[in-house]
Structure 1
Amino acid sequence: MHDTLTWRPLTPEDAKASADLLNAIETVDRIGENYTEEDTLQELVDPYADLERGSLAAFDGDVMAGFMKIRFKPSADEVHRVFLDGGVHPAHRRRGIGTALVQAGVKAAKVLHELHHPASKLAVDIHRPERIAGLAELARSQGFVPVRYFQRMEQPLSGALGAPAIPEGLRVEPWSERNDEDFRLVRNAAYRDYWGAVPMPVELWRNKITNQTFRPEVSFLLREVATGVPVGMLVTMYWEADTEATGVRDAHFMAIGTLREYRKRGAASALMGYALRVAAGQGYDRASLTVDSADAAGASGVFEKAGFVPTMRYVRWALEV
């Protein structure tokens, strides 16, 4: 079977073929992920995706039948958690392509790990929705085990939203070129407590956050008035391909964080309430976010209090190498 396919590493020129593959996968898996060519190109030029050493794609003529891509971390402490992403075209499933890609991904992860963080332990992670048919069987067959669960949560923005109560001594300001670095630094400080998170260098921030899906008009910073110190941030993303496919304009809160000393004081709730009101005023139909089910800071409770309800669970599968 493999002899009928062409196998090679991904390149940025594969952006359209990647988008076509992922959109074909969405027609079957129905996980709410739709892509434009620009979206997949952004993934292919990720500064922490070494395509030559850490990717592999199978082609049936000009059609991408499947792919895998490794993303290593810019830094690591005790454990270096490498992400293994990928997928197989519905017309090519149950033919061993997924198994071959996962095995190639584990080998590539070992190579990149030795190049970048050899002093740390290596864990290869797969992060996908729980309901994808066949994924659990494939992951378990290759030695992966579930280590964490994440929940997508959503809130419709059809009702009237009142003005949020901003804690005394704090003010909200929109994203701008001037305060972009404050956003990044607050994110890094706030996410220091988050499982598996590492600081985002400037080049990764630009690739993953302030890219074509970033919505600065619905992204806000919380700053202490007396000192000028930034203490919280919320970043919103929007995917045009999702709206084209569903008719729903979704404001996705990609990152929400407050400094540890400002937690339990209403800062996160104020940021969310402010962003929800702005998003509703700008014609978004829904807000969404993803939360770690085991988050020690109790973020799930904060989001539920704000009106978000669980809609889909993700599993983090891990293989310790």
Structure 2
Amino acid sequence: MTTTAPPPGAHLGLTWRALTAADVDTAAELASRAEAVDRSLHPFTRGRIEGLLLSPGTEPERDSLAGFDGAGVLRAAGLLQAESSHPRVMLWATLDPAWRGRGVGRALLGWQEGRAREILMAASGRRGRIGVLVDEHLADRRRMCVAAGYAPTRTVQNLERALSGDEPPTAPGASGPAGVRIVGWSPAAGDGARAVHDVAFDRVAAQDPQIWSGLLRRLRPAWSFVAIDGAEVVGFVISSHDPQDGHGRVAYSDLLAVRPDRAGAGIGRALLTTALHAYSADDMDVARLDVDARNPARDLYAGFGYRLRGSGVLYSIEL
């Protein structure tokens, strides 16, 4: 670990080192043990761990930490995910239920914060934020964040809708509002979608290359669509599916965006209708998505029959 942030003390009973690609299966086993207790909204499946650990721009040798007991069993793991455009560093961690209540979680959070401060200090002249997203029902972890000096800054709602098989039969290529066409995803259309993404989320600097590349890695082309007016892309929806998610046959709408100057014209509704039809056609049971609790798009989703499944709270430290 080429970082000056000290690892948790030996008195906690674990030996610490950085995670490597060879640890993905072991980390997934640890996450499965934790998930049996936590019932997370977004469980750490093998695919999600691999995505965090091996994504471009991530440096596991410096930005991860794993704690092993005397028998060599992985009991705790933490990762950092830097988002340079904010700048922000997100902290992710999982802890074996049998090792909770011993101070391991607090110590791991302390190491992550120290490493995050190093990353943000390297971005000279820029303010930064350290963030931890915690499911609302995980009261112990929320209290730990508050005790460590983190403040709640945002609530993200996880919504779901049952797929009955009788979703509106909107097909790719059909005309949307005012002649807008909804077409299937393609690399060429993806370039236009990226431009919409950058404009739509410019206020929060969400056009981070790592965020976009992460969306594309998860993207399922048959469920992802763009809205085209003439030759211009004016909106898109990106969808994904994690087959290792233990919550059943779930289709995720990872991101839906419409160019701001075309908002309110029904383009988002047309995109979501098309995506729901695609999910149902592939025999998915449930459609899910995440939305900021302050986002007026919640009204759109409620109109489609989405209901609140749970919420996550973003805890932050501003530097």
Corresponding residue number in structure 2 for 1:119 = 125
CA RMSD of aligned residues (A): 1.9
Cα offset for 1:304? 0.9
Q: In the aligned structure 1, how far is the partner of 2:198 from the partner of 2:219?
A: 18
Corresponding residue number in structure 2 for 1:150 = 156
Corresponding residue number in structure 2 for 1:216 = 221
Contact 1:184 1:200 in 2 (8 A): no
SS of the aligned residue for 1:65 comes to: strand
1:307 and 2:296 equivalent?
Answer: no
Q: In the aligned structure 2, how far is the partner of 1:43 from the partner of 1:99?
A: 21
Q: In the aligned structure 2, how far is the partner of 1:251 from the partner of 1:151?
A: 16
Q: TM-score, normalised by structure 1?
A: 0.89
Contact 2:240 2:252 in 1 (8 A): yes
Equivalent in 118, 123, 130 of residue 136 of structure 2: 130
Once the two structures are superposed, residues 206-254 of structure 1 have per-residue CA deviations (whole angstroms, 9 ceiling, x without a partner) of: 3x1232x4311000001112xx110101011101012xx34x2111000
Equivalent in 25, 30, 36 of residue 21 of structure 1: 30
Cα offset for 1:163? 3.6
Deviates more, 1:96-105 or 1:26-35: 26-35
Cα offset for 1:40? 1.9
1:199 and 2:204 equivalent?
Answer: no
Counterpart residue type for residue 200 of structure 2:
A
1:318 and 2:310 equivalent?
Answer: no
Cα offset for 1:52? 2.6
SS of the aligned residue for 1:209 comes to: helix
Q: Percent identity?
A: 27
Contact 2:167 2:277 in 1 (8 A): yes
Write out the 4+ residue segments of structure 1 that deviate beyond 4 Å after TM superposition.
none
Contact 1:35 1:241 in 2 (8 A): no
Q: In the aligned structure 2, how far is the partner of 1:18 from the partner of 1:189?
A: 37
Q: In the aligned structure 2, how far is the partner of 1:2 from the partner of 1:290?
A: 40
Q: In the aligned structure 1, how far is the partner of 2:128 from the partner of 2:216?
A: 29
Deviates more, 1:48-57 or 1:258-267: 48-57
Cα offset for 1:34? 4.4
Q: Residues 305 and 59 from structure 1, CA distance in 2 versus in 1: closer, same or farther, beyond 3 angstroms?
A: same
Deviates more, 1:141-150 or 1:61-70: 61-70
Deviates more, 1:141-150 or 1:57-66: 57-66
Cα offset for 1:74? 2.8
Cα offset for 1:70? 1.3
Contact 2:253 2:289 in 1 (8 A): yes
1:108 and 2:115 equivalent?
Answer: yes
1:55 and 2:64 equivalent?
Answer: yes
Corresponding residue number in structure 2 for 1:269 = 269
Instruction: Extract unaligned runs of 5+ from structure 1.
Output: none
Instruction: Extract unaligned runs of 5+ from structure 2.
Output: 1-9
Counterpart residue type for residue 315 of structure 1:
V
Q: How many residues align?
A: 305
